[in-house]
Structure 1
Amino acid sequence: MLGAWAAHADVKRGSVTNLPLPRYVSMKAAEGNVRRGPSLTHRIDWVFKRRGMPLQVTAEYGNWRRVQDRDGAGGWVHYALLSGVRTVLIESEMLPVYARPDPTAPVNAHFESGVVARLGTCSLDWCRITAGGYRGWTLKSNLWGVDPSEIRE
């Protein structure tokens, strides 16, 4: 899974986990307090309220991770509220999901903008996603939560 990241020797790595920064994770909890700083003494600015929501980790400090959502909103979240399970946010209205990574393939489903889907295999241009019991392929450019150059096997 980290194969695409390892190809870049100059990748910045977290001081706590030694994992690449930035990287994508998802919300494990149904609710998560987002704080101004990396401790319980820092003020809660808001609460993420969507299990599975993709987030980008941009920094680490002890048991805390600085994260941001698609809109750039974020702060510090305790690592126990996060999961390494990869999800993406659908960014196109009524996005067609194809049976194969081919725009001429049969359409399995259409996903609305804002749907959270589980991320599977990705080639340079296409990703396999699953949501609501439907699965298929869509262009990576229609998703938030996966880097444009990221390849997933």
Structure 2
Amino acid sequence: MRIIILSVSILLAALASPALAQQQPPYWASIDEPEARMRTGPSTEYPTMWIYKRERLPIKILARYKAWRKVEDHDGAQGWMHARLLSASRTALIIGEQPQALRSKPKADARVTWRVQPGVVGKISQCENGWCLFDVRGRLGYVAFDDIWGDEPLK
């Protein structure tokens, strides 16, 4: 009986833990709410530094403190967000001054399938060898790591 209770307890604890809470910093996440506040410290008692009004914006998680995550945005601003505002969904932001090419294959000489403006956010997957598959509402293509913020080899 004791083994069954212990097994059920372990299973329930594993199911209750979101994927975001399992990772050790640094790692990537994205904003999961229409409005998310970045604060100067890990509590609602701390003042708000920024209010983000853009779901799916990529965020780098630098540290954890209870239900709070120390985050960094694409401009280098650092502060604290509550974990419930974040998702483990992988997204990236197109950076640079010019539209970036999305390619049919993860190669610099592959056919251009789409062009995306700086500031566009999309889902990313299959990131390897300097390329990620970038999805903007069903429009897919490979983009170079150098053209996005939201995935990079983290140390």
Output the TM-score relative to the length of structure 1.
Answer: 0.82
Give the alignment partner of residue 123 of structure 2, picking from 114, 118, 137: 118
Kindly indicate whether residue 65 of structure 2 is the aligned counterpart of residue 61 of structure 1. yes
Q: List per-residue Cα deviations over 1:41-78 (Å, max 9, x = no partner).
A: 11112211110000001111111001110111131111
Equivalent pair of 2:26/2:154 in contact (CA under 8 Å): no
Distance 2:67 2:137 in 1: 32
- Alignment equivalent of 1:76, drawn from 65, 80, 83: 80
Taking the aligned partners of 2:22 and 2:135, their CA distance within structure 1 comes to 29
More helix by share: 2
Larger Rg: 2
**Aligned-CA RMSD value:** 1.8
Q: Report if the CA contact (8 A) 2:63-2:70 is conserved.
A: yes
Q: Which amino acid aligns with 2:41?
A: G
- TM-score, scaled relative to structure 2: 0.81
**For 2:70 and 2:87, how far apart are their aligned partners in 1?**
14
d(CA) in 1 for partners of 2:153, 2:70: 22
Q: Which runs of 5+ in 1 are unaligned?
A: 1-15
Residues 27 and 55, structure 1, Cα contact 8 Å, conserved in 2: yes
State the shift of 1:149 in Å: 7.0
Query: Which one of the candidate residues 96, 100, 108 is aligned to 2:105?
Result: 100
SS in 2 for 1:65: strand
2:151 alignment counterpart: 146
**How many residue pairs are counted as aligned between the two chains?**
135
Structure 2: stretches of 5+ with no match in the other structure? 1-19
Q: Which residue of 1 aligns with 2:139?
A: 134
Q: What is the percent sequence identity of the aligned residues?
A: 33
**Following the alignment from structure 1 to structure 2, what is the Cα–Cα distance between the partners of residues 130 and 97?**
9
